[in-house]
Amino acid sequence: MPELRQDIITGEWVVIATERSKRPESFTARAEVGPDDRTNCPFCYGHEAMTPPEIMAYSEEERKPNTSGWKVRVVPNKFPAFSPEGVLKEFEYGIYRAMTGIGSHEVIIHSPDHLKDLDQLSVEQIDLVLSVYRERYLALSTVEEYKYILIIVNHGPRAGASLRHPHSQLFAIPMVPHLLETEISGAERYFREHGKCVYCQMVSFEMKERVRMVAENDRFVVLEPYASQSPFETWIIPKNHLSNFEEITDSDKRALTGILKGILKNIADNLGDPPYNYYLHTSPLHQRDLQHWHWHLEILPRLTIRAGFELGSRLIINVTTP
């Protein structure tokens, strides 16, 4: 019997229908890695001039900007979804409403290595990537027009990656996106009703149940959410209440590095290196120390395709039970 489970934060429902995992497929679809053409990779050493001028970089020694020798490099996205130029303004077009797409769309190149995915880098290198995340959050949070910063990873072409060389993308945007508004207002409602942070509640419930818990260390819990949207959806949640990722301490950052590497390696090893996305959900900018909101990182393996039912209803069908 299929079951509907309610997302405890957003209030939305998910269909858990394990019968559907038995479907025969007359089509096959696999992640396809195209020809590995490093000669045209804008993220490799020696090709720094192929990107727009860098925003920042970490490097071992003194180096001139936009030359090789860097360890992590941040550049503007050459094909941006948001642009820092221009003025933020809303306008009307007949019966409709619009606004200018002010923002910053940045690429964080994880390492000079063209092929090493995040889980294959050293913990020191991953720690540098997370340090860049924190540094860019803090730098961009001073821009008044920006209301939210979202950092994401697309792993594999079927997850939307258009370049092989592993990288994150940062979007600083002039609005709080719909999903975050929904999550945050859901968490606020939970706090009003129960007097507790819903993520703290979830962490303590799942640590007791140990059904959907995947891993833990001193500072973080890794779990599959009860109303998972896809097989093996995985969240990393800090054990202690903290609403803003960018306030993470160095020691928490190191703990996150370890657990992130472990869980991504687990996913790659046990699920055959599937495509996935991850995204960091922190507070909206200029909002700190929220009692009801708790930052976390969501990893979404792309093992199934969202089809007409999901797109036409926004009710997600998951073929496994988390």
Query: Which residue in the set 74, 161, 184, 223 belongs to the binding site for its own copies (CB under 8 A)?
Result: 161
Query: Which residue in the set 39, 40, 193, 195 belongs to the binding site for its own copies (CB under 8 A)?
Result: 40
Query: Which residue in the set 143, 163, 215, 268 belongs to the binding site for its own copies (CB under 8 A)?
Result: 163
CB of residue 54 vs its own copies: minimum separation in angstroms?
19
Q: Is 3 exposed, middle or buried (0-12, 13-18, 19+ CB in 10 A)?
A: exposed
8-state DSSP, 9: T
Q: Is 167 a catalytic residue?
A: yes
By CB under 8 A, tell whether 29 contacts its own copies.
yes
Which residue bears the tokens 């819990």?
221
By CB under 8 A, tell whether 25 contacts its own copies.
yes
Q: Which residues, 6+ apart, have CB-to-CB distance to 93 below 8 Å?
A: none
Cα–Cα distance measured from residue 236 to residue 83, given in angstroms and rounded to the nearest whole number: 30
Question: Torsion angle, CA of 122/128/134/139, rounded to 10 degrees?
Answer: -160
**Of 76-84, 128-136, 240-248, 283-291, which part binds its own copies (CB under 8 A)?**
76-84
114 is an annotated ligand-binding site residue: yes
By CB under 8 A, tell whether 64 contacts its own copies.
no
Query: Which residue in the set 76, 177, 258, 262 belongs to the binding site for its own copies (CB under 8 A)?
Result: 177
Query: Which residue in the set 69, 76, 157, 262 belongs to the binding site for its own copies (CB under 8 A)?
Result: 157
**Number of neighbours of residue 304 by Cβ within 10 angstroms:** 17
Catalytic residue selected from 105, 155, 167, 281 = 167
Q: Hey, what are 73's tokens?
A: 């490099």
Residues 82 and 102 sit within 8 Å (Cβ to Cβ): yes
Q: Hey, what are 77's tokens?
A: 């996205």
Query: Which residue in the set 144, 209, 218, 289 belongs to the binding site for its own copies (CB under 8 A)?
Result: 209
Residues 318 and 17 sit within 8 Å (Cβ to Cβ): yes
By CB under 8 A, tell whether 182 contacts its own copies.
yes
Query: Which residue in the set 39, 60, 61, 95 belongs to the binding site for its own copies (CB under 8 A)?
Result: 95
Decide whether 110 or 281 has the Cβ nearer to its own copies: 281
Decide whether 69 or 101 has the Cβ nearer to its own copies: 101
| Subset of 290-319 contacting its own copies (CB under 8 A) | 298, 300, 305-315, 317
By CB under 8 A, tell whether 1 contacts its own copies.
yes
Give the SS3 label for residue 285. Answer: coil
By CB under 8 A, tell whether 195 contacts its own copies.
no
By CB under 8 A, tell whether 150 contacts its own copies.
yes
200 is an annotated ligand-binding site residue: no
Q: Which residues, 6+ apart, have CB-to-CB distance to 137 below 8 Å?
A: 149, 151, 245, 246, 282
Which residues, in sequence order, are bridge partners of residue 316?
Answer: 14
By CB under 8 A, tell whether 89 contacts its own copies.
no
41 is an annotated ligand-binding site residue: yes
Residues 139 and 55 sit within 8 Å (Cβ to Cβ): no
By CB under 8 A, tell whether 79 contacts its own copies.
yes
Decide whether 133 or 278 has the Cβ nearer to its own copies: 278
Q: Which residues, 6+ apart, have CB-to-CB distance to 188 below 8 Å?
A: 292, 293
- How many residues lie near its own copies (CB under 8 A)? 95
Which residue bears the tokens 């490097």?
59
Q: Which residues are catalytic?
A: 167
Sequence ranges of the binding site for Zn(2+) = 41, 44, 114, 165
